[in-house]
Amino acid sequence: MNSKLSSAITSYNNSLNDPKARIVYIDIYNSLLNIILNHDKYGFSVADKGCCGTGNLEVSILCNKLTDPCPNDSVYVFWDSYHPTERCYRVLVNQELYLLGAKKIGLFGAAPIGCLPSQRTLAGGELRVCSEIYNQAAQLMNSKLSSAITSYNNSLNDPKARIVYIDIYNSLLNIILNHDKYGFSVADKGCCGTGNLEVSILCNKLTDPCPNDSVYVFWDSYHPTERCYRVLVNQVLQSSLNKFF
């Protein structure tokens, strides 16, 4: 997959008619594998399971108030059974990507999680409306992340290095609220299964997908479809690309 992605990015760069525009493939496979296999070196104690619940299968929305977390996630490489912890992300960016030569690094903020299909189901009431509490939490997190990135940039002693906060909250929210404008028909549920709760590994050969995912904003109850990502990437490039230079 990484090999094909790298080739696709190279091909896409060759098709751009903007000399200032460039999409860069960043290899996190080897960097993260190094952290996992040598976790002791980076101060982690646990690398084979996540901090959430049993740490073996729970992922995303399955990590909630019903699944107790570990007492100290800073010693875990993974938060759930799929996503690294905040500290692991810091190691990955600071000690791996930067040292490998990555000078221009983009960090995505949180999405409007209150409008994701899963959160509409869990917190949106009978009408499955967007949860404003969750959206406000995402906005607060984004504000703090943006400030932290600004502070980190000011501490760098490398004029060529820049870490950029990329706002996907407003771009994705715009697509969700104005989905007809972008050619989507469904924005409140995913293409997989019922579209209300299925996510990640719960979308499998036992859960039938919709007949045409190109009219859906979301593939499952959490992740956008490929077509939505294409629309989102174009918006992000227009709004954030100049910040890298």
142 is a domain residue: no
40 is a domain residue: yes
Q: How far apart are CA 25 and CA 7, in angstroms?
A: 9
227 is a domain residue: no
Confidence of residue 74 (pLDDT cuts 50, 70, 90): very high
68 is a domain residue: yes
Q: What pLDDT score was predicted for residue 96?
A: 65
- E strand segments, 109-241: 162-166, 186-190, 216-218
- Segment 135-162 shows an average pLDDT of 86
Lowest mean pLDDT among 56-65, 77-86, 187-196: 56-65
Q: What are the tens digits of pLDDT across the range 110-131?
A: 999 999 999 999 999 999 999 9
83 is a domain residue: yes
CB-CB contact of 25 with 5 (8 Å): yes
* Burial class of 195 by CB neighbour count within 10 A (0 to 12, 13 to 18, 19+): buried
31 is a domain residue: yes
123 is a domain residue: no
Confidence of residue 59 (pLDDT cuts 50, 70, 90): confident
1 is a domain residue: no
Position 60 pLDDT exceeds 80: no
Confidence of residue 93 (pLDDT cuts 50, 70, 90): confident
pTM of the model: 0.69
| Number of domain units in the chain | 1
- In 3D, which of 146, 82, 157 has the Cα closest to residue 110? 146
Domain of residue 50: give its range.
26-102
Query: Is the model more confident about 172 or about 89?
Result: 172
